[in-house]
Each structure stands twice: as C-alpha cells, then as structure tokens.
Amino acid sequence: MGIKYHLVLRKNISKKVEEGKEFLYYAQTRATRTCTFDELCDLIAESSTASSGDVKLVVDRMTKFMAKSLERGEVVQLGELGNFQYILGSSGSTSEDVFQASQLRRPRLCFRPGTLLRNLTLTVKGEHILLEPGKPPVERPGIL
C-alpha cells in the first residue's frame, strides 16, 4: 500500500507561464483514515505487557516533560521517533545595538524524524486514486 493521492487542477504559479499552461494538474495527498490516539495505545498494549491506560499515562507524562524541556531551549530526543526543538527567527537589524526583542518572530516547533521514519520516505510509493463525485472529503482533524 502506498500514500494515496488524487490530481487537482490549479493555477500555475511559475514566474514564466507558457501559453496553454496557465493551469496544471498537481498531486494532492488523500488520507484514508485517522488512527486515533486511543487506537494507537490499544495497538501498543496488545503487543506489550503494558495496558492501554499505562501507555496513555506514559505518553501524557512524556508530553508534559517534553514541553518543560522545550521551554528551557533544549532539544528533546525521542529515540527512533526523532527530535523536537523550538526554532526562533527574527526580522533583520542594521546592528546588534539596535536589535530589539520585538523583532523576534513566533517560535516554531521543529520535528526532525529519526532514521526509521526518514527511511520510510525512501521506500513509500504513491498510489493514484480517483475521487467519486459527490463523496465528501476524508475527515482530517487539525488540517484546514
């Protein structure tokens, strides 16, 4: 199984658009379903001696302590899952003396996948699907 995608006709935003290529088809990923947190905890519980509640408790505590570490400016390493780190940027200033904290941009949380997840991107394939007319899009919480 591969990552599902369908084609969407969009305006060509290239700087030099040739005649007849004002609109092009682009691939857009399509989620087949959402694996919920509870489902993931149940799957982990089935393949270990921990109960689903134990897994939820550990993940809850991990999230809490990750947040505290990130607030201190630390990189949080989660083994093969990867690393989390806050990244900070700013607008430029002509000299160090005139730089003000108000020039800082909102911090972004950066995730760098570990080896296992990175290697998945090398092997996963795309699978073209045709959308059925009138079928509502797949529900994807948190994605606009």
Confidence of residue 135 (pLDDT cuts 50, 70, 90): low
Cα–chain-centroid distance for residue 103? Answer: 27
pLDDT at 132 over 90: no
H/E run at residue 55: helix 52-71
Tens digit of each residue's pLDDT (9 = 90 or more) over 83-110: 999 999 999 998 899 999 999 999 999 9
What pLDDT was estimated at residue 134?
Answer: 61
Q: Strand 82-87: give its sheet, edge to edge.
A: 76-77, 82-87, 108-113
Instruction: Say which DSSP state 50 is in.
Output: S
- CATH number listed for the domain at residues 34-122: 4.10.520.10
Which residues, including other chains, have CB under 8 Å from residue 1's CB and lie 6 or more apart? 127
Cα 52 from Cα 45, distance rounded (Å): 5
Angle at which helices 52-71 and 37-46 pack, to 10 degrees? 120
pLDDT confidence of residue 143: 45
Whether 121 has a pLDDT exceeding 90, the answer reads no
For 7, 67, 92, 115, 135, the CA distances from 76, given in Å and listed in that order, are 37, 9, 28, 16, 41
Q: Mean pLDDT check: name the lowest of 27-36, 83-92, 127-136.
A: 127-136
Domain ranges of the chain: 34-122
Two structure tokens written together for 61: 């505590």
What pLDDT shows up at residue 144? 40
